[in-house]
């Protein structure tokens, strides 16, 4: 029941039109792939219905019916950091039914498309579900190279007065990308080590006083992370909108002194 | 024949209209207003301002100006101007000039400016500005999250001028920008207005000539008047005790 544990109802019920094509601000290859397949599937189904019909409606009307049929009352669930839209009520189909209530012959020809529109919600839901394992196969969570596949013009910015200026050893990072091990984040432990009664505020040493810029995540992952580097240069804390990851190496990635390597 | 004329006429009218609308909204700014025009506009907009002298006009970019002024009673005020709808418009007038962060373009931190016009009686000789985020952690289920403390300082020495406009440093811009980009990835978009304070805030500590912290009295608690949409963020007064900096001044 691990999966069930992970499923959290993130948002309350709400109602909105579902758009077929998501315009990703980031390129997420797995969803683009599965949703393209879903779109092709819906087109094939629409074509088969259309072929069987004696009275053929105009193509643009078919498209309109499909889009209107998509409109549904749905619940948003978040599973593994992905939002799933679970359609509940076929609002679009109902509205169309009401609209054409006095035009029976037309409705007979239109109805399959309206319902296909609603059904398409489930096809897209399946596509989203299918993209999750693809995502986890292509972009393993426990590998640093998922988040940092390339480094371009790296700069290290010092965020805290307790740290001095450093720069990145690009070569070492490249070599360590596949070697660094994931470790558990001891968030409250770290915090309490820094903030406690024995240490004056002015003596506090931040554990991650550097931010690394210029890292590029794996192609198509759509991941965006903030990259913080540990004081000793051997740890990397990745902060993504949903989750954090911590990696350690045996070697320091940093070298004292400002400026570029 | 008649129809062709009508269509042609309609087309010309449409073209003229589009050009006018375009000019209205996207016109190149004309020369900035002169002191008399500025004073007139300030005093007619915000009657308690009682501006008598324009100290300077500082351009942030071609479309935005910061104008510090003096009032009849010796107060040091601030005003913010923008080229909008084909004319120079005042966005906000304040009778005091404690430091504020003017986010000229909301999500582009390179356009952010720290602006001020401090009263000379406050005797501020230098200021330290801080980009700050509190250290924090939270644990949900098996997920642990730790947020490192950010405390970056920018030191400014005030010359004879009571006012100033400064850009954020390259480092600050990078740090703020990375946070904005991170936020924009989130799928829950309840807000489209980015507020720095959700994650970070700006702080400042003013110092006098001998390097002691100053309590600002004359540059605060003024009377502000918002005319138009402007994104100004409060800069928090920070006590030395709140800082983790080890180096002192």
A218 falls within a domain: yes
Tally of structural domains, chain A: 2
Q: Give how far B63 is from chain A: nearest CA, Å.
A: 29
Q: What is the DSSP letter of A177?
A: T
**Residue finishing a domain among A103, A138, A173:** A138
Partner residue facing B244 (CB), from A162, A225, A239: A162
CB A254, CB A156: distance < 8 Å: yes
Whether residue A8 is predicted with pLDDT greater than 90 in this model: the reply is no
The chain A residues in contact with chain B (CB within 8 A) are: 5, 10-11, 25-26, 83, 155, 157-162, 184-188, 190-191, 194-195, 201-204, 206-209, 211, 213, 222, 224-226, 228, 237, 239-241, 243-244
- CA atoms of A217 and A225, how far apart (whole Å): 8
pLDDT winner (highest mean) among A70-84, B37-51, B194-208: B37-51
Chain A residues with beta carbon closer than 8 angstroms to that of B249: none
Whether residue B177 is predicted with pLDDT greater than 60 in this model: the reply is yes
Same domain, residue pair A126 and A154:
no
Whether residue A13 is predicted with pLDDT greater than 50 in this model: the reply is no
With tokens 């008047």, the residue in question is B225
**Residue finishing a domain among A88, A104, A138:** A138
Residue B151's Cα: distance from chain center in Å?
21
Helix, strand, coil share of chain A (percent; to 5): 40, 25, 35
Chain B residues with beta carbon closer than 8 angstroms to that of A19: none
pLDDT grade for A3, boundaries at 50, 70 and 90? very low
pLDDT in tens, A160-211: 999 988 989 989 998 998 899 999 999 999 999 999 888 888 889 999 999 9
Paired sense of beta strands B58-61 and A235-239, if any: unpaired
Same domain, residue pair A151 and A96:
no
CB proximity B140 to A under 8 Å: no
CB proximity B150 to A under 8 Å: yes
Q: Which residue segment(s) compose the domain that A174 sits in?
A: 144-256
pLDDT in tens, A116-168: 999 999 999 999 889 889 998 999 988 999 999 988 888 999 999 999 889 89
A106 falls within a domain: yes
Same domain, residue pair A61 and A9:
yes
pLDDT in tens, A215-241: 999 998 888 889 999 999 999 999 987
pLDDT in tens, B114-152: 999 999 988 899 999 999 988 888 888 888 889 999 999
Look at residue A28 in the predicted model and tell me its pLDDT: 85
For chains A and B, CB pairs below 8 A equal 106
DSSP A115-151: HHHHHHHHHHHHHHHHHHHHHHHHS-TT-HHHH-SEE
Chain B residues with beta carbon closer than 8 angstroms to that of A193: none
pLDDT grade for A258, boundaries at 50, 70 and 90? low
Whether residue A23 is predicted with pLDDT greater than 50 in this model: the reply is no
Look at residue A20 in the predicted model and tell me its pLDDT: 33
Look at residue B76 in the predicted model and tell me its pLDDT: 93
Tell me the residue length of chain A. Answer: 261
Q: Report helix, strand or coil for B195.
A: coil
pLDDT in tens, A92-101: 889 988 888 8
Look at residue B239 in the predicted model and tell me its pLDDT: 84
pLDDT grade for A107, boundaries at 50, 70 and 90? confident
Same domain, residue pair A87 and A172:
no
pLDDT in tens, A60-69: 989 999 999 8
Chain A residues with beta carbon closer than 8 angstroms to that of B174: 155, 157, 211, 213
Same domain, residue pair A209 and A246:
yes
Look at residue B30 in the predicted model and tell me its pLDDT: 85
Chain A residues with beta carbon closer than 8 angstroms to that of B144: 184-188, 244
Whether residue A58 is predicted with pLDDT greater than 90 in this model: the reply is no
A217 falls within a domain: yes
**In this complex, do B186 and A241 lie within 8 Å of one another by their Cβ atoms?**
yes
For chain B, the average pLDDT equals: 86
A46 falls within a domain: yes
Same domain, residue pair A192 and A109:
no
For B56, half-sphere exposure in the C-beta direction (CA atoms, 13 angstrom radius) is 13
Same domain, residue pair A12 and A132:
yes
pLDDT in tens, B29-77: 888 999 999 999 999 998 888 899 999 999 999 999 999 999 998 889 9
Same domain, residue pair A68 and A7:
yes
**Residue finishing a domain among A138, A157, A189:** A138
Whether residue B196 is predicted with pLDDT greater than 70 in this model: the reply is no
Chain A residues with beta carbon closer than 8 angstroms to that of B200: none
CB proximity B142 to A under 8 Å: no
Same domain, residue pair A101 and A166:
no
**In this complex, do B145 and A187 lie within 8 Å of one another by their Cβ atoms?**
yes
A163 falls within a domain: yes
Look at residue A257 in the predicted model and tell me its pLDDT: 77
Chain B residues with beta carbon closer than 8 angstroms to that of A25: 184-185
Same domain, residue pair A131 and A16:
yes
Look at residue B222 in the predicted model and tell me its pLDDT: 77
Q: Give how far A26 is from chain B: nearest CA, Å.
A: 8
Report the share of chain B in percent with pLDDT over 70. Answer: 92
CB proximity B174 to A under 8 Å: yes
Same domain, residue pair A12 and A102:
yes
Angstrom CA distances, A257 to A119, A167, A203, B161, stand at 61, 6, 22, 36
With tokens 């076929």, the residue in question is A90
Partner residue facing B151 (CB), from A161, A194, A244: A161
Partner residue facing B244 (CB), from A83, A201, A222: A201
A56 falls within a domain: yes
Whether residue A1 is predicted with pLDDT greater than 50 in this model: the reply is no
A211 falls within a domain: yes
Same domain, residue pair A204 and A84:
no
First vs last Cα of chain B: how many Å apart?
83
pLDDT grade for A53, boundaries at 50, 70 and 90? confident
A165 falls within a domain: yes
**In this complex, do B182 and A159 lie within 8 Å of one another by their Cβ atoms?**
no
**In this complex, do B244 and A160 lie within 8 Å of one another by their Cβ atoms?**
yes
Look at residue B55 in the predicted model and tell me its pLDDT: 95
């Amino acid at each position: 029941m691990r999966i069930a544990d992970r499923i959290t109802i993130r948002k309350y019920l709400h109602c909105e039109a579902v758009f077929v094509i998501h315009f990703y601000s980031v390129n997420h290859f797995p969803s683009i792939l599965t949703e393209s397949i879903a779109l092709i599937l819906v087109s094939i189904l629409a074509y088969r219905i259309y072929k069987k019909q004696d009275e053929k409606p105009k193509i643009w009307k078919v498209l309109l019916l499909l889009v209107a049929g998509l409109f549904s009352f749905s619940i948003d669930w978040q599973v593994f950091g992905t939002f799933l839209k679970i359609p509940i009520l076929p609002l679009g189909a109902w509205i169309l039914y009401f609209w054409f209530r006095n035009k029976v012959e037309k409705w007979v020809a239109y109805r399959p498309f309206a319902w296909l529109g609603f059904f398409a919600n489930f096809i897209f839901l399946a596509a989203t579900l299918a993209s999750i394992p693809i995502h986890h196969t292509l972009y393993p969570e426990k590998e640093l190279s998922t988040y940092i596949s390339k480094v371009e013009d790296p700069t290290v910015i010092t965020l805290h007065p307790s740290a001095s200026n450093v720069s990145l050893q690009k070569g070492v990072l490249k070599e360590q990308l596949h070697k660094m091990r994931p470790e558990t984040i001891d968030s409250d432990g770290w915090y309490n080590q820094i903030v406690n009664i024995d240490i004056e505020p002015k003596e506090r040493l931040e554990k991650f006083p550097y931010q690394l810029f210029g890292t590029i995540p794996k192609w198509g992952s759509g991941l965006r992370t903030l990259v913080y580097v540990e004081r000793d240069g051997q740890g990397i804390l990745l902060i993504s909108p949903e989750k954090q990851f911590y990696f350690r190496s045996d070697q320091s990635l940093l070298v004292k002194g400002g400026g570029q390597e | 024949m008649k129809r062709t004329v009508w269509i042609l006429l309609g087309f010309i009218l449409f073209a003229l209209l589009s050009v006018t609308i375009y000019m209205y909204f996207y016109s190149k700014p004309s020369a900035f207003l002169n002191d008399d025009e500025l004073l007139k506009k300030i005093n007619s907009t915000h009657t308690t301002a009682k501006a008598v002298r324009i100290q300077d006009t500082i351009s942030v970019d071609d479309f935005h100006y910061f104008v510090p002024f003096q009032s009849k009673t010796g107060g040091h005020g601030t005003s913010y101007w923008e080229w909008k709808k084909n004319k120079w418009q005042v966005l906000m007038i304040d009778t005091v000039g404690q430091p504020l962060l003017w986010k000229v373009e909301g999500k582009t931190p390179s356009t952010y400016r720290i602006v001020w016009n401090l009263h000379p009686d406050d005797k501020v000789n230098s200021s330290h500005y801080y980009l700050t985020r509190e250290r924090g952690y939270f644990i949900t289920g098996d997920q642990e999250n730790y947020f490192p403390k950010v405390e970056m300082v920018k030191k400014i020495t005030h010359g004879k001028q009571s006012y100033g406009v400064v850009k954020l440093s390259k480092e600050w811009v990078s740090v703020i920008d990375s946070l904005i980009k991170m936020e924009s990835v989130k799928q829950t978009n309840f807000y489209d207005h980015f507020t720095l304070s959700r994650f970070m805030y700006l702080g400042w500590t003013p110092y006098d000539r001998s390097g002691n912290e100053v309590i600002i009295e004359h540059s605060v608690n003024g009377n502000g008047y918002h005319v138009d949409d402007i994104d100004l963020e409060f800069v928090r007064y920070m006590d030395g005790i709140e800082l983790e900096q080890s180096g002192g001044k």
